[in-house]
Amino acid sequence: MDKLITHSPILIIAIPLLAAFLTPLISRVNQKARDVLVITTLALAGFLVIILARDIYANGIHIYTLGASSPTLAIPEQYMVPMRIILEVDAMSIFMCIIWATVSLAAGIYSLSFMKEETGRDRFYTLLLLMVGGVFGMMLTGDLFNLFVFLEISAISGGALVAFRTRFTDAVEGGLKYIIISTVGALMVLFAIGIFYAQYNLLNIAALGQVIQYTMLDKVALAFLVIAFAMKLGSVPLHMWVPDTYAVAPANITAMLLVSSQICMYALFRTCFSLYGVTLNTATVGWIVIILGMLSMFVGVTMAVLQTDIKRLIAYNCICESGYILLAVGVGLAVLGQPAALDTYGIAAMSGGIFHMINHALFEGLLFLAAGVLFYRVGTRNLNEMGGLAHNMKFTAILFLLGALASSGIPPFNGFASKLLIYESVYQFNPILAIIGIIVSIITLAIFVKAFFSAFTGQVLPKYKDVREAPKLMMLSMIILSIIIVFFGLFPGLIVDWLAHPAADALINQAEYISAVVGG
Amino acid sequence: MTQGAPFNVPFLAVAMLIGIAFYIILSQRNLIKLVMGLGILASGVNLFLITLGYREGGVAPIYTNVPIEKMVLPVPQALTLTSIVIAVATLALMLSMVVHIYRHTGSVDAEKSRTMKG
Amino acid sequence: MMSKIVRTISNILILFIFIYGLYIIMHGHLTPGGGFQGGAVVASGVALLIVAFGSQSIHKSLREHHLSILESSGALVFIGLAFGGIATVFFYNFLVGSSIFGRIPPTGPNPGDIWTGGVIPFMNLAVGLKVLAGLSAILLVMALASSMTEMDE
Amino acid sequence: MAALEFGLDFWNPIVWVIVFLVLIAGAYLLRSRGQKKYKKGTAQTQIFLSGEEPPPVEQRHIKAHNIYWGFLQALKGYYDPTVKAHTGIINDYMIWFTAIVTATAVILFIVG
């Protein structure tokens, strides 16, 4: 068991990758076995995440050096700095892993039924598992170049998955847009990594964080990193690919892409907090993040009002919700240098934002999955053509409503708890930001009233007389997500204390992150 | 790294490549040209990385023909190689998507072939 | 399908290209090169064949799904070798000191001892397999796709 | 365990759920006191539109693009340029990216 915990960081990455290349071979033998393999792999990754999480919350940061003679030997004997690829797992990384494990398991179960009629499913599952491995890698790595590699792995597999149903023109277009913006963003990240390497001859985040100076070149690198990650997480005004991509991808892939965007948010926070830390002018960078967040909230929700494509509408709402996270963590970043302010509201804002991250992934994932059910049964994403579907799809309607209410911040669901935490703490930083946040939340409710009204309510339209309820596996994956949503809504204090607060602490505590690798 | 005119030439080339690439990406509506621009951007970044590996007086890290003290650290080479591999994969994926777009819409123009906006 | 001269020359040339690619793959731990470079050289040989003989006739003997099996097995071997070291650490070079590729390389100028490197030659081989299969599949599929559109119009 | 605390304030969903359930029970009590003596399937349960025939189902349902028409109309000055900015052309996305990177770098240089 100890051995398993020691090796679990790499196993979480390597097992999905191994399974990814096993699927094409196995699906030649038996299709059923392939499906079982995919779900087992996802469940196994989730299990490893849980045992690693227990260890990390008990014993602190966990490092794993690839190829060394011992996993914790970060710096080889004759060297002064870490040379090998190091995986560094702290409470923040494992928090992201929990999100990803949950959503990818739900999406995997969903795709068993959703992708049934597609051809070339062995390639679909290969790409899906590659994406799972790539995103896990991004969360667990402690090395900047490795971050770039895993970013590209998840981008390539994600782009291919978006365009998987090549018979739809818009799917290919969405995939192309996704892959182009990912490539440009990733190359800019690589350029910034080159700048770091030129100055410090280091690639490890912790070792770089120890020596970073915030010179002129570091500022250029910071601009590239922050904006490249902001583009990949879909923050306004770099958000325009989000609705194009999310709307056309298969619904399960959209739920996964949503989390893979959040990983870029994680990478952004990692850059700002663990890499630069207090060396940068926290007020400036904090306000840049806050402004990106405010713009995302406002433009995202107002653009969602006029959408008539259900998945585009939810995609714009995603932009809006990620704005909340940027706002909350930006407030934490802006007061990073002031311990008094950090104690009174900074940490609370950050735990609110981080709590909102998991809520965001869960309820938006649920909404996308429910919208996917509509597409699967009705054959359109256009809200103008829908109506009265709740008569035949009662459970889908209830689950969609649950996701919508959670997203709009209606008590007692989880969205309310995290948004309340954000409002309460941001209000002490700047009251106007909190008030705008509340207004945006109200408009969020309005857009979901529109979506729910036009899709589900009213008398059943004659052409949808024979529409049936969602298939069982799709229903199962949606129910998994909704149970977690309700649980988080009823016990928010538990989640904040157990998961969100340690993650916020881990981000703020740069010294601990550095000393885990460099020592001393 | 010594500050002399010849040593800055690669960096000038990097700046030119990235500049050309961004010009193409920003101005060319033809999707094939856009993908070419991305290829040039990747080459520019790769050239930047490989230039960082240069150390005056160092020898290429090939194990069979060097006295060991003079070897440069092969990290930038490894990075460049990885990034080339990734660039190959992305370019192939993008080109195949462009082929599909051309099949569907009969155009490789970013404006004419788009189906979504707003 | 190109002229007879081209086809004959490429028939001769292809052997040299393949041998050179395999040489680069197998000497990856000694000289510049390795799995990716060698695989790319071999795939360029496949590209020569596609140009000379046309994608349709190549497709008769070289199918994508065979290539995809080859590619998956290359990746599996690579990850399997990485897993082989898990008794100590993932990616640990467990063959060093053993009788297979286990010698310690000599320092200083020397002609190169191929029996060194531990798992690295095997990993090069696996990567080479994956890259040659993957790149050939990409080239083949793209050539087929473009020749099909020509036939449609 | 369930409660979130912020200084003096707190939020306890369990209390909220209990209050909500009590209110639901009250509403149900009120509803159960209502009139039960109507006949299903007759004119008593049909739509009444000044004696006219109601329109077919398709026309009765308000389409999605008509919802919030007033809101969109009132904010036309904001919506027209915003929608125009979402061109759907990948080059424009890249122009935004370049512009924002430049702006951020300039801000970081000037402010620090």
- Looking at residue B7, what is its pLDDT? 62
pLDDT of residue C153: 44
Question: Which tens digits make up the pLDDT trace of A157-215?
Answer: 999 999 999 889 999 999 999 999 999 999 999 999 999 998 988 899 999 998 988 88
Residue D43 pLDDT: 75
Mutate to test the interface with B, among A187, A224, A306, A309 (most CBs of B within 10 A): A187
Other residues' Cβ atoms within 10 Å of the Cβ of residue A54: 12
CB-based contact C110 B64, cutoff 8 Å: yes
Question: Within 10 A of D78 (CB to CB), how many other CB atoms are there?
Answer: 13
Both tokens assigned to D3: 């409660």
Q: Are A128 and A111 in contact (CB under 8 A)?
A: yes
CA distance A340 to A279: 18
Q: Could you say which of A222, A231, A454 has the minimum Cβ distance to residue D67? A: A454
Question: Measured between CB atoms, which of D63, D72, D86 is closest to A384?
Answer: D63
Chains C and D are in contact, defined as 3 or more C-beta pairs closer than 8 angstroms: no
Alpha-carbon distance C147 to A219, whole Å? 49
Chain D residue numbers with beta carbons less than 8 Å from the beta carbon of B111 are 89
Residue A39's pLDDT band (boundaries 50, 70, 90)? Answer: very high
Q: Which domains does chain B have, with CATH numbers?
A: 5-105 (1.10.287)
Mean pLDDT of chain A: 91
Q: How far apart are the first and last CA of chain D?
A: 43
Instruction: Provide the strand spans (E) within A104-215.
Output: none
By Cβ distance, the residue of C69, C76, C89 closest to A68 is C89
Q: What pLDDT does A460 receive?
A: 86
Partners of chain B (3+ Cβ pairs below 8 A): A, C, D
Report pLDDT digits (tens) over A207-253: 999 898 888 999 999 999 999 999 999 998 899 999 999 999 999 99
pLDDT band at B6 (very low <50, low <70, confident <90, very high): low
How large is the average pLDDT for residues A339-365? Answer: 92
pLDDT of residue B58: 78
Smallest Cβ–Cβ distance between C109 and the set B65, B85, B103 belongs to B65
Instruction: Look at residue A191 in the predicted model and tell me its pLDDT.
Output: 94
* B99 CA: distance to closest CA in chain A (Å): 10
Q: Which chains touch D (3 or more CB pairs under 8 A)?
A: A, B
List of chains touching C (3+ CB pairs within 8 A) = A, B
Chain B contact for A155, CB < 8 A?
A: yes
Task: Report the percentage of chain C scoring pLDDT > 90.
Answer: 41
Whole-angstrom Cα distance, residue D100 to residue A292?
A: 10
At CB < 8 Å, which residues of chain C contact B? 30-32, 36, 105, 107-112, 131, 135, 138, 141-142, 145-146, 149
Alpha helix segments (H runs only) across A201-309:
205-211, 216-233, 241-248, 251-269, 282-305
Which of C113, C138, C141 to mutate to probe the B interface, most B CBs <10 Å?
Answer: C138
| Nearest one of A60, A175, A264, A64 to B96, comparing CA atoms | A175
- Report pTM: 0.94
Lowest average pLDDT, out of B21-30, B33-42, B108-117, C42-51, goes to B108-117
Separation in Å, CA B8 to CA A193, A216, B46: 19, 18, 16
Residues C72, C20: contact at Cβ < 8 Å?
A: no
Asked whether the predicted pLDDT for residue B59 surpasses 90, the reply is: no
The CA distances from residue A466 to A274, A461, A463, in Å, are: 55, 10, 8
Which residues in chain D come in under a pLDDT of 70?
1, 7-8
- A494 with D1: Cβ contact below 8 A: yes
Q: CB C105 to CB B63 under 8 A?
A: yes
Cα gap A300→A319, rounded to integer Å: 5
Binned at pLDDT 50, 70 and 90, residue B117 comes out as confident
* Nearest-Cα residue of chain A relative to residue D64: A384
Counting runs of H as helices and runs of E as strands, what totals does chain D give?
A: 5, 2
B117 vs D contacts (CB less than 8 Å): 86-89
Nearest to A407 by CA among A374, A436, A379, A449: A449
Q: For chain D, what's the residue count?
A: 112
Which positions ≥6 away from A400 have C-beta within 8 Å?
Answer: A366, A367, A370, A371, A452, A455, A456
pLDDT tens string A107-166: 999 999 988 888 888 889 999 999 999 999 999 998 999 999 999 999 999 999 999 998
- In terms of Cα–Cα distance, which of A289, A345, A272, A326 is closest to A440? A326
Tokens of C119: 């798992």
Strand partners, A62: A89
To test the contact with chain A by mutation, choose from D46, D62, D83, D93 the residue with the greatest count of A C-beta atoms within 10 A, namely D93
When pLDDT is averaged across residues A344-348 and rounded to a whole number, the result is 90
With contacts defined as CB-CB under 8 Å, which chain A residues touch B36?
none
Q: Which one, of B87, B83, B3, lies nearest residue B48 by Cα?
A: B83
ipTM over 0.95: no
Test B45 with A166 for CB contact under 8 angstroms.
no
The confidence score (pLDDT) of residue A124 equals: 92
Q: What is the pLDDT of residue C94?
A: 84
pLDDT (mean) for A22-42: 91
**pLDDT mean over A397-424:** 91
pLDDT recorded at residue A256? 93
Give the confidence band of A432 by pLDDT, cuts at 50, 70, 90.
very high
Question: What is the DSSP code (8-state) at residue A344?
Answer: I
- If you average pLDDT over residues A382-399, what whole number do you get? 90
D83 Cα to chain B: minimum distance (Å)? 5
Given A186, A190, A244, which is nearest B116 (Cβ)? A244
Instruction: Say if B and A touch: at least 3 Cβ pairs within 8 Å.
Output: yes
Strand D4-6 relative to strand A86-89: parallel, antiparallel, unpaired? unpaired
Residue B114 to residue D86, Cβ atoms within 8 A: no
* Cβ pair C135:B88 closer than 8 A: yes
The chain B residue lying nearest C36, using CA atoms, is B85
Which residue among A149, A156, A306 places its CB closest to the CB of B93?
A156
User: Going by C-beta distance under 8 Å and a sequence separation of 6 or more, which residues neighbour residue A384?
Assistant: A308, A454, D63, D64, D65
B31: nearest CA partner in chain A: A176
Q: What pLDDT was estimated at residue B2?
A: 46
Q: Which residues of A touch C96 (CB under 8 A)?
A: none
Are D111 and A306 an interchain contact pair (Cβ–Cβ within 8 Å)? Answer: no
B83 vs A155: CB contact, 8 Å cut-off? no
Residue C149: the pLDDT is: 58
The domain tally of chain C equals 1
| Closest Cβ–Cβ partner in A177, A302, A411 for D16 | A411
Do the Cβ atoms of B34 and D91 come within 8 Å? yes
Q: With beta carbons under 8 A apart, name residues in chain B contacting C107.
A: 68
List the single residue in A216, A461, A494 with the smallest CB-CB distance to D57: A461
**pLDDT number for residue B1:** 44
Min mean pLDDT across A79-88, A412-421, A425-434, C35-44 is at A79-88
Nearest to A353 by CA among A322, A314, A309, A399: A322
Contact C21, C33 (CB under 8 A): no
Domain holding C46, by residue range, is: 4-108+116-152
DSSP three-state, residue D9: strand
* Residue A403 confidence (pLDDT): 94
Instruction: In whole angstroms, give the CA distance from residue D91 to residue B116.
Output: 14
Give the number of other Cβ atoms within 10 Å of residue B109's Cβ. Answer: 14
Helix A310-334 and helix A241-248: axis angle, to 10°? 130
B86/A156 CB distance under 8 A? yes
CA distance C146 to chain B (A): 8
pLDDT, chain C, mean = 86
With CA atoms as reference, the chain A residue closest to D98 would be: A227
Joined together, the tokens standing for residue A52 give 């690693």
Determine the average pLDDT of the residues in A76-86.
81
Average pLDDT over residues A426-450: 93
Residue B4: is its pLDDT beyond 60?
no
Alpha-carbon torsion angle C62, C66, C68, C69, nearest 10: -150
